[in-house]
Amino acid sequence: MTQEMSAKELIARRIALELQDGDAVNLGIGLPTLVANYLPLGVNLLLQSENGFLGIGPVPAEIIPVGQPRMVNAGGNPCTILPGGSTFDVSTSFALMRGGHLDACVLGGLQVAENGDLANWMVPGKNVPGMGGAMDLAVGAKKVIVAMEHTNNGEKKILKKCTLPLTAKGKVAVLVTEKALFRFYDGNMVLEEYAPGVSVDEIRAETEAAFTVSDNLKEMVISQVGL
């Protein structure tokens, strides 16, 4: 990772290369929303928001005064809708998510286990508004990509077994951190890419989970948009 680029930006830039033109995708709240900033030229996504949008657009150019009608995304932030987009009620939105109609979702993570389990919705003892659509997305999307920093203040987050309440079991397809990219094959975790300047030994030292190293291990390539 370069000194000029934050961990979150590196993660978002790498995940942007996982998505294909025309994909219907849900980008979770927080880090995953950054992915939209780095999509390569010619890659246009149908972004879905769980509160009832397909074809969601960028933040409005002008601030809409309080009290006037406005559209907001699932995080409560102002948004727009692109030509050809649509709005619908929440029950339809969740049917879309649960029914296997999304090509991919990008979710943040608190913990990921070596078999592809994901915990991302609560920490016991802390107040949370609820799991939102995380469980529905993790089970329903055709490809689940997790975006998270490798450790939290030195505490390992990629574990043999999640210790936090699970969001979904065995559903993670791709995990991207600022140090590595892992793919999961039938419950087996494989290191396929390492970030620039990061060694396999460093990744092993900061990862509790058991993983194998791909025969085709390579340095991570990221989206060059805006560089």
The alpha carbon of 23 is separated from its chain's Cα centroid by a whole number of angstroms, namely 15
Q: What is the mean pLDDT of residues 9-16?
A: 97
Tell me if 224 is assigned to some domain.
Answer: no
Tell me if 115 is assigned to some domain.
Answer: yes
Q: What is the mean pLDDT of residues 72-100?
A: 90
Please give the tally of structural domains in the chain: 1
**Phi, psi angle pair for 93, to nearest 5°:** -60, -45
DSSP reduced 3-state for 84: strand
Tell me if 71 is assigned to some domain.
Answer: no
DSSP 191: E
Residue 97: HSE in the Cβ half-sphere, 13 Å Cα cutoff: 29
Measure Cα distances from 99 to 64, 76, 137 in Å: 35, 24, 10
The CATH number of the domain where 139 resides is what? Answer: 3.40.1080.10
Long-range interactions of 211-219: CB distance < 8 A, separation 24+: 211/114, 211/182, 212/188, 214/190, 216/192, 217/191, 217/192, 217/193, 218/192, 218/193, 218/194, 219/193, 219/194, 219/195
Active site residue: 9, 50, 114, 206, which one? 50
Tell me if 105 is assigned to some domain.
Answer: yes
Q: Which residue has the tokens 């009290």?
A: 67
pLDDT for 79 equals 85
Residue 135, pLDDT > 70, answer yes
Binned at pLDDT 50, 70 and 90, residue 163 comes out as: very high
Tell me if 93 is assigned to some domain.
Answer: yes
Tell me if 187 is assigned to some domain.
Answer: yes
Instruction: Confirm whether 178 is a catalytic residue.
Output: no
Tell me if 119 is assigned to some domain.
Answer: yes
pLDDT for 55 equals 93
Residue 77, pLDDT > 60, answer yes
Residue 129, pLDDT > 70, answer no
pLDDT for 76 equals 80
- 148 and 157 in contact (C-beta within 8 Å)? yes
Residue 92, pLDDT > 90, answer yes
* Residues listed for the chain: 227
pLDDT for 166 equals 96
Tell me if 70 is assigned to some domain.
Answer: no
Mean pLDDT computed over every residue of the chain: 92
Q: What percent of the chain has pLDDT over 90?
A: 78
Domain of residue 208: give its range: 2-53+88-219
Residue 67, pLDDT > 90, answer no
C-alpha to C-alpha distance for 161 and 114, rounded to whole angstroms: 7
pLDDT for 124 equals 78
